[in-house]
Amino acid sequence: VKEQGKNNFQFYTPDMNEAVSQKIKLEMGLRKGLERGDFNVHYQPQVDVSFGRIIGVEALIRWNHPDLGNIPPSDFIPIAEETGLIVPIGEWVLYEACRQNKEWQQEGYAPLRVAVNISSRQFQHSNLVEVVQRTLTETGLDPQYLELELTESIIQDSKHAISTMQKLKDMGIHLSIDDFGTGYSSLSYLKLFPIDTLKIDQSFTKNIFSDTKDAALVHTIINMAHSLDLKVIAEGVETGEQLQFLQQTQCNEAQGYFFSRPISAEELSIVFKNELLL
Ligand code: C2E
Ligand code: CA
Ligand code: CA
Ligand code: CA
């Protein structure tokens, strides 16, 4: 695709035409999908590294299109962000994740934190704080069981970011920085932002064993986070060796295929039941 950044096409070709119409199709599909209820949420366990217990889950959206089947988030989240549809979609995910988490608590499972991804477009949207407040009230979820995953890109407007984050923190919600280490921002924001957790990007976790520099980076991020009183979660943990490294370097939490892929709420209920039986 001959595309240079956002809406900045170099020249027009039949190929281009197709890419644009594909995009328009997806955009219309997203609107319809929201109305029709094509979306659902899967949950991936987050595990305490020292005890191996599930302490939280990350909510990840899934789109089951009636004709096209399952469309991965990497194909539609960018379009949802561009068109602004990420705002209603994100609000829906937030509501559904809080509702589901409350339901699990009412069913008697040990309380967990649910982590919800907030795109920077959604974060910058003026009424995020109200939306979060309303969602917690409507679902009855205690704020301590909600975490919002933010990316470093929100730093672009750091004054607004700090005040929004502070309001969320004052409500009792946890905040984490997703994909930590992949942005190009300076580290000084870490002392300004009221955050709880750094989430080490899976590109670092992946190479802990093949690349000594990645191992050094992971170790350094963990030490730095701890000296700033932040917790660390590593994502993309696929092997026992990776987990062992994270235990040795005192990473707090881990998430990845080694424990579980993202699964439906029903499947996760079965996991919880089995844990209770242990
Ligand atoms: P992310 O927030 O970094 O989520 C982690 C992604 O890594 C998920 O992909 C997850 O399925 C995948 N993953 C988890 N463990 C492993 C592992 O051990 N190995 C590998 N290779 N991958 C693993 P997914 O669900 O396809 O989501 C992709 C991205 O789409 C997310 O990246 C996030 O940026 C975005 N996304 C997903 N759901 C939402 C949502 O509700 N709202 C927003 N704004 N973005 C979302
Ligand atoms: Ca995430
Ligand atoms: Ca991530
Ligand atoms: Ca990512």
Q: Are 221 and 232 in contact (CB under 8 A)?
A: yes
Query: Could you read off the pLDDT of 85-120 as tens digits, one per residue?
Result: 999 999 999 999 999 999 999 999 999 999 999 999
> Is any ligand 1 atom within 6 A of the Cβ of residue 77?
yes
Q: What is the pLDDT of residue 13?
A: 65
> Is any ligand 1 atom within 6 A of the Cβ of residue 179?
yes
Q: What is the pLDDT of residue 196?
A: 97
Between the CA of 146 and the centroid of ligand 1 the distance, in Å, is: 18
Dump strand ranges (E) for 152-196: 174-180
Ligand number, closest to the Cα atom of 77? 1
Residues of the chain with pLDDT below 50 are 1-2, 277-278
Between the CA of 2 and the centroid of ligand 3 the distance, in Å, is: 28
Q: Are 247 and 49 in contact (CB under 8 A)?
A: yes
Ligand number, closest to the Cα atom of 115? 2
| Separation CA 35–CA 256 (nearest Å) | 32
Q: What are phi and psi of 231, to 5 degrees?
A: -90, 160
Q: What is the pLDDT of residue 9?
A: 53
> Is any ligand 1 atom within 6 A of the Cβ of residue 252?
no
Q: What is the pLDDT of residue 109?
A: 92
> Is any ligand 1 atom within 6 A of the Cβ of residue 152?
no
Query: Could you read off the pLDDT of 245-269 as tens digits, one per residue?
Result: 999 999 999 999 999 999 999 999 9
Strand (E) or helix (H) holding 150: strand 146-151
Q: What is the pLDDT of residue 155?
A: 80
Q: Are 161 and 123 in contact (CB under 8 A)?
A: yes
